Structure formats: structure tokens, C-alpha cells
Amino acid sequence: LKKKLMDVCILPIPTYGAQTWSLTQHQKSKLKVCQRAMERSILGVRLSDRLRNTTLRSMTKIIDIDKRANQSEAEETCLGLPSRRDELPAGAEHGLARGVLQLVARDALAVHTKLCSTKLTQREEILGVLKWNTHYAEGTLRNALTQLLVVPSEELVKFLQDILDALFCILTQVQEDHEDDVYTDNSYGVLVLECLLRVISIVADHKYQHFQPVLHVYIDDSFCDALAYEKLISVMVWVISAANAGDAALKRLLMCMKCIESLIRLIVRSRQLRSALGDRASDSEFCMLFEALLKQLVWLMRCGDHALTCQGSALKYLPHAVPHIIKVYPDTELSAYIVRALEALPLGRLSKQRMLALLELVRGPLCSEPSARALLLPHLAATTRALLRDKAEWDREAAHKSRSVGKAARLLGADTAKLPDHTHHQQIVELCVETLGEVMSLLARDDVGPVDADRGELARRLLPTVLKTAATMLRDRKSEGQSNSAEDALLRRILSVLLDMVRQMSENQYSMVVRALEAENVGGSGSLVTDALSLFLAILQRPVFRPHWADMLHLQHYVMLHALRLLSTTLRDRLYSTEDSDTETLTAIHSLCRTWFEAGAALATSSPLQLETLPAARKQRLSALYGDVRRGVAECLSEMWYSLDHHKRSFIPCLVGPFLEVSFLRDEEVRNTTIPIFFDMMQTEYSHSVLNGDANESPLKELESEMIDKVDVLVEKGYGDSVWRARFVSLCGALCGAASGPLRVAAAALVAAAARQLDALLQYRAAARRSATPHRMHLTTCVLHFYQQIERPHMYIRYVHKLAKMHHAAQQWAEAGLSLRLHAKLLAWSHDPLPPRLRHPTVEHDSHTTHRELKEYLYLVIADLLNRGRQWELAVEIVKELVSVYEEEALGYGPLADLHTQLASMYDAMLRTPRSHPGYFRVVYHGKGFPELLRTPYGYIYRGNEYEQLQEFRDRLLDEWPDAEVLPKLDPPGPEITESDGQCILFDIVNSKCTKTDLQINAVDPVMGDKLKRLSGKPIAEQILQYYKHNNVDKFEFSRPFYRAEESLDGSTDDLSNQNEFATRWLERTELEISEKLPGILRWFPVRSQRTYEVSPLTAAVEALKDSNRRLKSLIIEARAPDAPLHPLTMRLIGI
């Protein structure tokens, strides 16, 4: 043709029988052939061969163009001509004529065909199956079935329903060559099954998954062969039994196992159609047939390694067929056969596939039936138990190691694919946990019938194993120090399983678990208790569930309380059944009981249970769901304690801490339940002391010591309040009053000591939270003095070092050294072993094992601190004592030389290093806004910092008490100030024993102490005198001037103040004595006594002259030095 045709012509072909078709005049016009002469020349084209019984293939053809002379004569001749140019005989390119037709060599028509039909096929292999009757009659049906296996997948899915109909017709209507269901590879039934497997596997492929609904609709609606199941089951039984017949048989069996769900659906549908016909007599026959199939599946699971892949496929796909099987087969018998099949497979083989199968069975409808579930769950529990117990711990370690090995292999360039894969076992553990979770969810449903027996069976078989696995996971998580999200998720899931298992457990079921453990191993229940308690403590110390999962956390604690009650029965039973003579067993049981009490205390004090810290809505909701779990724990602890009977003494004093911790909870009912236990402890301890003859020597000393120690620790952690103190005194005081004489006295003393301790600790804690450092230091001294009074050296030392640490942080070096000296005073210069109560609280115990070692260490530290604080005189005393010790013990000249060098440097510093001596200030606190401890009648004397003036000290104190007001006068305030709720501070400047007067701020001189009196009048350096004037002092005074009217010599009463001011100016002098000398362990001490008297003008003048003479003498001594300046002396002389 001279013009290329681009139009598309859609030509319908109605039937398979159309062998030729010609272009009509209408079709020619659609092709838009341009030349009319050419239109007359076109006769037609033959698109299919007469001998081919299929439709034209989709392809491009070059069709010859023939000239025609007579149309009527050309039709028969046309069928005998070649239809394509490549079919022309040799030499035809020069011309070819057949009858009235003549080939046009230079012209050809290119035709591209594309068949779109679901009724016509281009594959003769498909037609061979669709026209199976013809091939069966001709004896070529086997070949037709074989040819169907090689048809492309896209062709098969087009004619899915037609092919399936034909295959089932062949299966049920074609007779085998041999009777009695004896099959071979060439049997019609086997070939049909292979074709079915081919079709089903194509539909199961991901590429053609959208045809799966088509297959399901066909089975449910279009499939209508009521006899197919008989032949299909028998063929499948033969295929399974031929598993040992070679590779081809194994391949066929593998395909059969992969397609077993669809095959089962076909069997079930066929059986349903048969039953719908009313043929009830065939029920037993079907059951026998299907049992034969199930027995063959059981046999398959017993096969060796050659059938491993087939076994895995059966485990993977058979559970999906179970929902269909139970429609026509009893679920109980099916469950029994499934269990037999799973038990036939060795445990070490296909563990992952086994667990996946069990998981699918649990999710399916089979386990919803009580009878079937009763057979399946024991096997599931036994399998899960074996996999978890034998492998879980090793698997986690191996998985951890594999990560390190893989990393090393990658660094070294090794092939990581060749490394052992340890994650497989981890996957098995995850599957076990997931399966157990599904079982718990199943048993929680309301539509699955009675589940109590199932829960009991699961608990009996699985509780110890799941408990141990969870504890192992939690221990590994803690040891690694970091949490992995995947491992945390697995841990949360297994804990959820465990919590649900325990939550639904009754006392009878728990007793079954205990009896089963005791039957397996004597004492096995003890292992259960140990694992459970260790898991509880680990979960409470390091929670697994996230903090904002409030409901889950509260449920966890609620279940823990239930578990504690169950475990307590085991402990009591073992305690009562053990003879007192069996000390080893009793010791082990006592240890478990102590752990039980500790777990209960940890549970009660867990932060999610503190309802007072929660919003009101959440608190109300949790209370409605679970109640106050703390009250339940307190009641459980109380019941357990009183049930110990004569074993109570073994738990004193170790349980004082846990009970104190619970009783400190801010719930009145909890306190009312737990506080009386302390008095019961007092009774038990007293009875034990009387029995041993120790009643006369502090019968409650051990209990008192433990209580005081634990109260201190717990209050420091934030426990305890004044309400607890009042309740403790009220309840225990009442019980003490009702007791007998000696017990009443001892118990009342213990209660009073605990109350006084709590008062001091609560004040210290309150100051630590909101007060400045000086006030905290003062309260620290109150606490350490309390422990000193009650002879608790270890507590006393602990607070001594706390005080020293605060001084060190404030760079108050002298006070820090003097604080540490308190600890050193408790030690002796001996080589006696150092008892625990005298050890250093922050230094390793192995560093100092004797009194002398620790005391020497403390002295060296003290000397260094005093040296930094410019208190060389005090440091010299410390070093001198060390020198005497070294000399007595003959430690050599080297250490002595170092000490003497240190002494020489200190003596030189006293004379050559200038130092500013601090001033002293009296402070009186008025008003109830201050802590009661500060509101003393005479106030406090403060030691100021170097170069600190009154205004600077005033500002510093106001920073500590920003709400306070400074009184402008020194007069004692009235009750309107002292009893007010505000804060008022009375200031004045103080120096020891001075008479220089001024209003409010008085510059005073030091009191002549004993040391200063001995040095008076001797040629002593002024630096030494100034030191003893401002240090090591405990007496102070201040003076206020006032004018008194004097009588004249002539007896008149006129006021002479204006005539002679100094003659009428008197001084009101107040002398103050503080509790300890300054500098000391604090920079301020309370005034212990106060005395006020008047000083006459003459006495004041004499004191002023003496002071001027002393100052002048001091300047003269200083001026005698060769290099001393003279201007201080000259200025003083000019001033006089």
C-alpha cells in the first residue's frame, strides 16, 4: 500500500468455530484505504489456520494482497493460499497465481492483532482440558493434563473457573485404570491434583493475589461437585504417603502442603454439598476418609530430614484450614489429631514453625471450644515451657554475643553470612510470649465457655517458667545498663502475660502450682517464692512500664498485692511445718520472709500508689477500680507479722526499716495498721531479753538503735512528718501505758527518744529545703548533739562530716577543721581495730583499719584546713600532738622533719603574714515568723567575715531572711513584736569587753581572757595579742550611753548636764556569754547568759585612758623594729 494505515479495527469473533473471516465493505471503510482501485483489489485475509483449533495469536502479521477476477470463484481458492509472506514457496516473489487469484508481489498488508476475551483462548493446551471429553475418547487426556502445567500463569487465571470445572469433572467422572485407589504418577487423579496445585499456587502468588477473591467466590458459590471430596482426599493421602518416592514426589508433596488450605476448602465445600442432598449415611465414611488424611499428616511429621521442608509447610498452612475443617469434622477429634501431629515432630525441629502454628491455632476458632481447647492448651503449655526453660537464658546471651561477633567480623572483612545466627532463638522466645499473650486474651473472653480449668492448667505448667524467664530478661536488662526498645517491648509483653496469669489465679490454683513444684522437686516452692520476690523488687526498683501508663502501673501493683497474699500462704506453711531443730531450713525460710516483707514495703511505697500526689479525677477513678492498694499492703504485712508467732524475734531489728517506711506513708489507715507493730516488736524484744537474763541492761537497746538509724535515713529521704510523730506517740504511748512496769518504762523511753529525734530531723529537713546555709549548719549541730546525748557515735560522726562539708563549701576553713576535730576526739592513738561505728562515712573502709590510722589522717586534714583558715595557733596544737605521737612511736626523722618544717612555717606566718581579725555581732530574732529554735531571749553572737563591717553583715543577714525588718533601737521590744507573725531583727555591733560608746553600733574591745592576762605587760608582738583578743573568746559586751542628772555641790537639784557633759554621761553595759568559744564548729552561737550594769563617768574615763596607754605601748614596741615605719606612733601622739 502506498499509505500507512493507523486506525484500530475492533472485530468481534463470536465462537471458537470461526476459522476465517473477511473484511467487509464497512470494515474496509474503517481502514480508510485511500485508493479505490486498491479497495477493489483486496479480496480478504485468512487470520487462522484451518488445522489450528485456537484463536489467532496476538502478533503482527504481513498479509499478502491478491487480485481477484471473480469473487464467487475465489473463496475456496483463498483458503488454500498462504496467509503470511514467510509461508510463500520459493520463487513466489516473482509472481504466484492460483486459479482466479494472483499475488501482488509489491504490496502487503501489516495487521497487528490483540485478543481480549475471557471465552476465547489462544492456547491449545487450555482447549485440551476444556474439551476433555474428546481427548478422553481419543486417549490423549493425560497428555492434555500434562500440557496444562506449562501454560503461562496469565493465561490460566483468565479461565480460572472454566479450568477448575473441567478438572473436577475429570476427577469425578474419569475412571482410573486401577481400582482400590491405587495411584501412580500417571493416574488421572494425581494429574488433576497437580493441575489444581498449579492453579492454586498461581492464585496464591503475590502477583495474582487479586484473583484470590475470585477463587474463594468460586469455591463458595460456583463449585458444585458433591463427590469431589472422596477422590481428592484419597489422592492427597497417596501424595503424602509417597513422600519417600523421590524428589518429584517431595516436590509434589511440598506444593500440596502449600495449597492445603484451598484444597481443604474444596473438600469441605464438596462435603457440605453432599450433606445438603440429605445423604447422612455418608457422614461416617467422610470421617473415615478425613481421619486417614489426618493420620497421614501425623505420619508426615515423623519423617526424617528429607521431608523437613514439607513439614514446615504443613505447620505453616494447615492451621489456616482449621476454621473450614471444623465445619464438617468434630473439633475435639481434630484437636486431638493436631496435638498428635505436633507431638510426633521432635521438639528440636522446626521450633519457630511450630510456635507459629500454635499461635494461629490459638487465634482461630478451634480454641474457642472448651473441649478442643482442653486438648490443645496442655500441649501448648508443655511446648512453650520447654522452649523457654531450655533456651531463653542462653539465647539472650548468645544474641548479645552475636552482635559483638558480627561487628568484629565486619571490621576484619569476614563474611557475616557465615556467622551463626543466634537471633533465631530470640525469635522463638518472642513467639512463645506472643502465643501466651493470645492465650490470655482468649481466656479473658466471655464467649469461650468455662476457663477456670484452663487457667489452672496453664498456671501449673507455665507460671514458674514464665516467672524465671521474665526475671532473667529483667536481670539482663539491668546488667546491660541501657534499654533496647525491642527488648523492652518483649519484656513488657511477658510481664503482661505474667500479671494476667496471676491476676486470675485463685488460691486453689496456686496450691496446685505449689504441689506440682513440690512433686517435681522437694523445696521447689521455695524457688518459686524466690523468683517472684526478686522479680517484684527488680520491677519496683526499675519500672518496665512507662511512667505515664497510670492504669497499667496501678494494675501491676494490684496484681503484686494479690501475689504477695498467695506467696504468704506458702511461707507460713513452710514455716509451721519446719522443726525448730532444722536450723538450716529455718534460716532459708527466714531469709525468704525478710525478702517478702521488703517487697511488700517497696510495693506500698511505690510512687504510682501515692494517691495524694495524683489529680483528683485520676485518684477517684483508681480508687473506684482498685481501692487504695497501700492499705491492702499494710493489712497484708500486719497479718503476716502477727502470724510469725515465736519466729518474730528472728526479724528484729531487720524489719524495722521496712515497717517504718510503710508507716511513714501519708494515709491514716495505713499508719493505724502499721504503727502498733512497733510496740509488738518492743514486747517481743523485751520478752527475749528477759528470757536471756538481759532485762536489766537496756532490754530494747538493739531495737532502739535500729529505729533511730532508720528514722534518720528515711527522714533524710523525705519520709515522715509531724502528723506521724503525733500518731506514733499516741498509739505506742497508749500501748506502753497499758504494759507492765519494766516494759512500760523501757518502751516509753524508746518512744520519747524517737519523738525527740524526729523533731530535730524534721527541723533540719525543713531548713535544708528553704533556709540558707548558716541556719542549716545550726540545725545540723542540734542533730549531732542529740546523737551525742543518746550515744549513737556513727550517726554523730555522719552529721559531723555533713557539717564539715557545708563549711568547706562556704570556704569557712577553720570551722571545717574544728568540725572534723569532733570525730578525731572519739579516736585513740592506738592500734586497736576500728569498729564500724567510728568509721569515716565517705572514705573507703579499707583505707583505715585502726584508730591510729584514721586519727592521723583526720589530724593532717584538720591541720591543713586550719592553715588555710589562718588559724595557725590552733594548727600548731594539732601538729604538736602529731609530733609527740611520732616521737613516742619512733617513726623516724623523716616524718618528724616534715612536721617541724610545717611548725616553723606556721610560727613564721603568725608574725609576718598580716591577717584581718573579724568583728562580732549580736543578733536577736523576734516574731513567730522565725523558726522557734532561733527565738531565744538573748539572741546569738555572730563571728563576721574578714574585713566585714556592720552594714555588710546586715545586708548578708537580710539576704538570708528577706522578709525580716531591722529594729532601729536596742531597747527590748514589746509583745506586739515578739508575739507577732512577722520577722524582726535587733542589731548591734559587739566586741569583747569594750567601753567606747556610740548609739546602736559600738566599737568595743576584747575581754582580758586568761591567756591575754598572762601575756599582759610582756614584750609580746602585737600580732599575737590581737589574735588572742579576737579568737578563742566566749564573753562579749556592749555599752549604751545615757545621761543622769547630777546634784550640785551646794545642794541644789539643777541639771548640770549642759555645763559638764562628760560628768553626767554614764554607760549601760551588758555582758554576754555564749555557749561555746569562737571560732568553733559554727560561726555563731546562742547567748547563754546576760548581765547588765551601769558604769560611772569616772570609771569609763579610767578605762579609756588604760586603753589609750595599751595602744600607745603596742605602737612603741612595733616602732623598735629596724624597718618599722614611725608614722603610726607619731599620729597616735598627735591625737593624744
Sequence-separated (6 or more) residues with CB below 8 Å from residue 796: 784, 787, 788, 822
Please check the confidence at residue 926 and state whether its pLDDT lies above 50. Answer: yes
pLDDT at 862 over 90: yes
How many CB atoms lie under 10 A from the CB of residue 402? 18
Using the 8-state DSSP alphabet, how is residue 220 labeled? Answer: I
| More confident site: 77 or 816 | 816
Q: What is the 3-state secondary structure (H, E, C) of 247-289?
A: HHHHHHHHHHHHCHHHHHHHHHHHHHHHHHCCCCCHHHHHHHH
Cβ neighbour number for residue 667 with a 10 Å cutoff: 19
Which tens digit of pLDDT belongs to each residue from 56-81?
A: 555 555 555 555 555 556 666 666 66
**Interior angle at CA 321, CA 317 and CA 323, nearest 5:** 140
- A 10 A CB-CB count for 653 gives 17
DSSP string, 326-374: TTTS-HHHHHHHHHHHHHHS-TTSSHHHHHHHHHHHHHSSGGGSHHHHH
Residues 1089, 948 contacting (CB under 8 angstroms) = no
**Is 402 a residue whose pLDDT tops 60?**
no
pLDDT at 971: 66
DSSP 871: -
- pLDDT tens, 301-312? 999 888 899 999
Cis peptide before 653 (omega within 30 of 0): yes
Show the cell assigned to 967.
529594729
Separation between Cα atoms, residue 301 and residue 168, nearest integer Å: 29
CA distance linking residue 494 with residue 47, whole number of Å? 70
Looking at residue 95, its pLDDT comes to 66
Q: Which residues contact 518 (CB under 8 A, 6 or more apart)?
A: 524, 525
- DSSP code of residue 418: G
Positive or negative torsion for Cα 71, 75, 76, 80? positive
| For residues 369-380, average pLDDT | 93
Set of cell numbers at residue 440: 490470655
Distance CA 888, CA 136 (A): 125
How far is CA 488 from each of CA 193, 426, 477, 548, 769, rounded to the nearest angstrom? 48, 13, 8, 16, 37
Q: For residue 429, which of 472, 367, 460, 378 has the smallest C-alpha distance?
A: 472
What strand order describes the sheet that includes 920-926? 965-967, 984-990, 920-926, 940-943, 1084-1095, 1065-1078, 1033-1043
Burial of 359 (0-12, 13-18, 19+ CB in 10 A): buried
On whether the CB atoms of residues 67 and 81 are closer than 8 A, the answer is no
Mean pLDDT, range 232-259, rounded to an integer = 91
Mean pLDDT of 357-373: 93
How is residue 850 annotated by DSSP?
A: B
In the predicted structure, residue 23 carries a pLDDT above the cut 60: no
Q: Which residues are paired to 111 by β-bridges?
A: 61
Contact status, residue 349 vs residue 424, Cβ threshold 8 Å:
no
Q: With beta carbons less than 8 A apart as the criterion, state whether 54 and 121 touch.
A: yes
Q: What angle do CA 750, 756, 759 make, to 5 degrees?
A: 140
Q: For the residues 1016-1042, what does the mean pLDDT come to?
A: 80
Q: Distance of alpha carbon 405 from its chain centroid, rounded?
A: 28
Cell of 336: 486431638
Reported as a single tens digit per residue, the pLDDT across 548-572 is 888 899 999 999 999 999 999 999 9
Mean pLDDT of all residues in 482-504:
82
* Amino acid making up residue 31: L
Going by pLDDT thresholds of 50, 70 and 90, the confidence category of residue 730 is very high
Q: What is the mean pLDDT of residues 13-39?
A: 43
Averaged over 695-714, what is the pLDDT? 84
CB–CB of 170/193 below 8 Å?
A: no
Indicate whether 41 pLDDT > 60: no
**How many CB atoms sit inside 10 A of residue 449's CB?**
13
pLDDT over 80 (residue 1081): yes
Whether the Cβ atoms of residue 203 and residue 157 lie closer than 8 Å to each other: yes
Residue 899 to residue 860: CA distance in whole angstroms: 10
Q: What is the pLDDT, as a whole number, of residue 944?
A: 86
Residue 1005 has pLDDT above 50, yes or no: no
pLDDT-based confidence at 994, cuts 50/70/90?
Answer: very low
- Phi and psi at 112, nearest 5°, equal -105, 120
Q: What is the pLDDT of residues 381-395, one digit of tens each?
A: 999 999 987 654 444
Higher pLDDT, 1046 or 314: 314
Q: Given this model, what pLDDT does residue 1007 score?
A: 66
- pLDDT tops 50 at residue 416: no
pLDDT digits (tens, 9 = 90+) for 572-588: 998 988 888 888 889 99
What is the H or E stretch that residue 1088 is in?
strand 1084-1095
Q: Is 487 helix (H, G, I), strand (E, B) or coil?
A: helix
Read off φ and ψ for residue 1044, nearest 5 degrees.
-120, 130
State if pTM tops 0.95.
no
Strand 1065-1078, strand 97-98: pairing: unpaired
Mean pLDDT over residues 325-334, rounded?
Answer: 93
pLDDT at 821 over 80: yes
Sole residue written with cell 531469709? 591
Quickly count helices (H) and strands (E) in the chain.
44, 10
Mean pLDDT of 41-67: 51
How many CB atoms lie under 10 A from the CB of residue 1056? 16
Q: Which has more confidence, 1118 or 850?
A: 850
Distance CA 641, CA 301 (A): 56
pLDDT > 90: percent of the chain: 36
Cβ-based neighbour number of residue 240 at 10 Å:
24
Which one-letter amino acid corresponds to residue 140?
A: T
Q: Name 832's Cβ contacts closer than 8 Å, sequence gap at least 6.
A: 850, 851
Rounded to an integer, what distance in angstroms lies between the CA atom of residue 26 and that of residue 49? 24
Query: Chain-wide mean pLDDT for the chain?
Result: 81
Q: Rounded to the nearest 10 degrees, how much is the dihedral formed by the CA atoms of 928, 931, 937, 938?
A: -130
For the residues 955-973, what does the mean pLDDT come to?
76
Element (H, E) at 1095: strand 1084-1095
Alpha carbon 1133 to chain centroid, angstroms:
81
* Alpha carbons 19 and 68: distance in angstroms, whole number: 21
- Distant-in-sequence, close-in-space partners of 522: CB < 8 Å, separation ≥ 6: none
Joined grid coordinates for residue 84: 503470511
pLDDT the model gives residue 895: 86
What the block records as the C-alpha cell of 181 is 485407589
**Mean pLDDT confidence for 620-632:** 91
CB contact at 8 A, 1115 and 1128: yes
Residues across the chain: 1136
> Please, which residues bridge with residue 1066 across strands?
1042
Distance between CA atoms of residues 1042 and 1057, nearest Å: 11
Name the CA dihedral angle for 135, 136, 140, 141, rounded to a multiple of 10 degrees.
90
Whether the CB-CB separation of 958 and 900 falls below 8 Å is answered with no
pLDDT for residue 419 is more than 50: no
Phi first, then psi: give them for residue 833, nearest 5 degrees: -60, 145
Residue 483 CA to residue 546 CA, distance in Å, equals 12
Question: Which pLDDT belongs to residue 1001?
Answer: 30
Q: Which pLDDT belongs to residue 196?
A: 93
121-125, 359-363, 611-615, 942-946 — most confident range: 359-363
Q: Does domain 771-912 sit in CATH 1.25.40.410?
A: yes
Beta-carbon contacts of residue 1006 (< 8 Å; ≥ 6 apart): 991, 992, 993, 994, 1012, 1029, 1030, 1033
State the pLDDT at residue 982.
57
313 is written with which cell numbers?
A: 509447610
